[in-house]
Amino acid sequence: MSIHFKQRALVAACVASFAASPALAQTEINVVGFGAGFAWADLFGATGAEKTQKLLDFEKEHDIVVNMEFADEDVARQKVLLDLVNGTGDYDLVMLGSDGAVQTFSAAGYLEALGPYLETAPDLFDPAKVYPPFLEANTVAGELYALPYYSFGAGAVYRKDLFDKYGISEFPKTTEEMATALQTLKDGFAADGITDVYPLTMRGAPGEEPSLDLNGFVYAYAGYPAWFEGGPTTPEEIKASKAQPIFTGDFKEGFSTFVNWSREYGPPGIAGHTWVDMMNLYAQGKAAILFPSAINAFAGIPSSEVPEVKEFSAFAPSPAGPSGKVVQSFWTFSVGVSAFSKNKQEAYEVLAFLTSEDVMRDFAEVIGWPYTTYPSIMHSPTLTDKWPTEMLDQIEASFYDADPHYFPYIPELTEFMDHIGTAASSAISGAQTIDEALDELQSWATERMDRAGYYK
């Protein structure tokens, strides 16, 4: 069943909606999410429609009724957006991704800053116990706006058997070595007449899809979030320096590498591939390396029917680019409190519960992937029974290695992610050359930033 429960499914919408029920003394929190039977399965059961004892205990203790309503992912996202735009406050809790929604919605004033609440439910959620980068990813202009549920950092999953076969003794530590390794694999496959295994699987579908990974390349090559002159990452910094977009400048090298690797070493359909495709290809033994969003390999391995995939898959830290910084791919699916909520304190309590160590441990148990937001869980038997400690340590290291702000935190982030990803898809497919795609991106970005009033 893992096909339904990939990382994106996890970016689940968790929207708590408060239905005004004057007859009830209890506060009701309605949550809209997706991935029934997967997300918060320990609370809402395998169908997503029941309430476990654990949840009932929480409700009793806090005098809150939590109602979860699972919907299709897109539907859930649109519900959240429309609810926030209209400021209805029907939803107390909203699902957010750290690649746009947190930045945009916080700037728009739709999200409640969580700082003042953090002390109010320490038994449920203690920020000190969570990996700091996951909180940092949800921090905009110094304010925390959401708590992380499902989160991951960069890394590569590769086939040790294939590396051995073609004489690559260890996983590359730099992008330069990586390029060599990819070429070695490609030549090796060609020499052996293997046409349906590709050195690399990534994702190049249009939209924001490739952007998380692609911007990780840009960061590693330029050494900073190279969107604007000088690398500012906040609206204030950009306005102060009137920094112009540099998509045809420092941005280009990382972008080009992503595009070229996709074209040279990726599967032929990569320009349309989403995380599902990259996962499936790896699980079906058709790729030697999945990179840099390693989680997508872990999502596919359990259901793989190719013995070598299960037996010889290994994790490696993301290689470093010419700047010395590693290729990034960092993301959290998190939940925030709507600024329009009429019961913010109760909403926060539910949020704290939904992201508590206890709940996260159950979640880690259910999915069995080597990722979690709590170091205590990372080092507990929940994961150490399943995974080599060395690998867990490497994954943990990748969290600390991450710069969650490897792209600018501006309100227009989602729009930029969309345009950047689409430009990549376009260049990978050959519809445009890299230069054409970047020229168009540059002129769009310049116009967009100007229209948004950054350079007044």
Partner 1 sequence: MLRDWRFWFFLPTLLALGIVVLFPTGYLLWMSLAHWIITEPGVYFDGLANFRTLFRSASFYDSARVTALYLFFSTVIMMVFAMLMALALQHSRSGILRSAIVLPLVIPPVVAGFTWRFLLNGEIGFLGAWLFPMVGLDVNMLSNPSGALVSVIIADVWSRTPFMFLIFLAALQGIPRDYYEAVRLDGATAVQEFFTVTLPLMRSAVAVALLFRVVDAINTFELIYVMTKGGPGRATQTLSLLGWKTAFQNYDLGGAAALGVVMLVVTTISAGIMFARFMRKA
List interacting residues with partner 1 (CB under 8 A).
Answer: 74, 77-78, 81, 85, 104-105, 107-110, 196, 198, 204-209, 267-274, 277, 280-281, 284, 286, 411-412, 414-415, 418, 422-423, 425-432, 437, 440, 444, 447, 451-453
Angle at 266 between CA 260 and CA 267, to 5 degrees: 135
Residues 6+ apart with CB under 8 A from 306: 283, 284, 285
Q: How far apart are CA 328 and CA 153, in angstroms?
A: 7
Residues 6+ apart with CB under 8 A from 450: none
Q: How far apart are CA 439 and CA 443, in angstroms?
A: 6
Q: Which residue has the tokens 């941005």?
A: 251
User: Measured from the CB of residue 186, what is the shortest distance to partner 1 in angstroms?
Assistant: 16
C-beta closer to partner 1: residue 32 or 423: 423
Among the residues of 33-140, which ranges form H helices? 41-44, 53-62, 73-86, 101-107, 132-136
Among the residues of 175-210, which ranges form H helices? 175-191
User: Measured from the CB of residue 447, what is the shortest distance to partner 1 in angstroms?
Assistant: 8
C-beta closer to partner 1: residue 360 or 428: 428
432: helix, coil or strand? coil
User: Measured from the CB of residue 414, what is the shortest distance to partner 1 in angstroms?
Assistant: 6
User: Measured from the CB of residue 436, what is the shortest distance to partner 1 in angstroms?
Assistant: 10
User: Measured from the CB of residue 266, what is the shortest distance to partner 1 in angstroms?
Assistant: 10
C-beta closer to partner 1: residue 57 or 74: 74
User: Measured from the CB of residue 32, what is the shortest distance to partner 1 in angstroms?
Assistant: 16
C-beta closer to partner 1: residue 314 or 452: 452
C-beta closer to partner 1: residue 86 or 180: 86
User: Measured from the CB of residue 399, what is the shortest distance to partner 1 in angstroms?
Assistant: 28
C-beta closer to partner 1: residue 177 or 418: 418
User: Measured from the CB of residue 429, what is the shortest distance to partner 1 in angstroms?
Assistant: 3
Start-to-end CA distance of the chain, whole Å, equals 52
C-beta closer to partner 1: residue 205 or 222: 205
| Strand 198-201, strand 287-290: pairing | parallel
Q: How far apart are CA 58 and CA 266, in angstroms?
A: 48
Q: Which of 147, 150, 95 lies closest to 124, judged by CA?
A: 147
Q: Are 227 and 251 in contact (CB under 8 A)?
A: yes
User: Measured from the CB of residue 366, what is the shortest distance to partner 1 in angstroms?
Assistant: 25
Q: How far is CA 85 from the centre of its chain?
A: 24
User: Measured from the CB of residue 104, what is the shortest distance to partner 1 in angstroms?
Assistant: 6
The values of phi and psi at residue 23, to 5°, are -70, -20
314: helix, coil or strand? strand
C-beta closer to partner 1: residue 43 or 301: 301
User: Measured from the CB of residue 281, what is the shortest distance to partner 1 in angstroms?
Assistant: 6
C-beta closer to partner 1: residue 286 or 379: 286
C-beta closer to partner 1: residue 41 or 299: 299
- Neighbouring C-beta atoms of residue 240, cutoff 10 Å: 10
C-beta closer to partner 1: residue 222 or 301: 301
Q: How far apart are CA 16 and CA 438, in angstroms?
A: 40
What six digits make up the tokens of 9?
């499914």
Residues 6+ apart with CB under 8 A from 258: 202, 210, 213, 214, 217, 218, 424
Rounded to 10 degrees, the C-alpha dihedral 269/271/274/276 comes to 10
Among the residues of 118-233, which ranges form H helices? 132-136, 160-165, 175-191, 211-222
- Neighbouring C-beta atoms of residue 226, cutoff 10 Å: 27
